[in-house]
Structure 1
């Protein structure tokens, strides 16, 4: 019975979570010490790695796709025409 009381006392999460003072983790202490001496540069949340250039209009993209499809169709027709001779 005493062993069960030790087990409950050791893993009493309600008691541990109700503590007034909670010690930060080792990583939090390490980062706080590092940033005290050398603070990090400010950066926006999930910043883009590279600025994006100007975008083309959707009509230009559509014309490029249709032109490529037409060129492939002409090439296939030319290959079939030359293979039949």
Structure 2
């Protein structure tokens, strides 16, 4: 059991979370150093995406109808093969 107690002591998350000072991650330190010299431009929380090219509705209709036609042909072929 002493081995389990050592493990619990080593990975005591409550003790780690209650620390008064928490060191920032390496990425946070790197960004802070970079932004000190060259601060980023202000941006909204979720920037609007650029204009999305609108696909015409006939292309979507043609794709759907083509898929339906292929399914009908395949079902007809399968039914014809099974009747022999």
TM-score (normalised: structure 2): 0.54
Which residue is equivalent to 1:36?
A: 36
**Higher Cα Rg: structure 1 or 2?**
1
| Alpha-carbon distance between aligned partners in 2 of 1:30 and 1:43, rounded to the nearest angstrom | 20
Tell me the matched-pair count.
Answer: 52
**Cα deviation, residue 49, structure 1:** 3.9
**SS at structure 1 position matched to 2:40:** coil
Task: Tell me the TM-score normalised to structure 1 length.
Answer: 0.53
User: What is the match of residue 4 of structure 2?
Assistant: 4
1:20-52 Cα distance to aligned partner (Å, 9 max, x none)? 11111111111111101110011122222447x
Query: Pairwise CA RMSD of aligned residues?
Result: 1.9
Q: Which runs of 5+ in 2 are unaligned?
A: 52-84
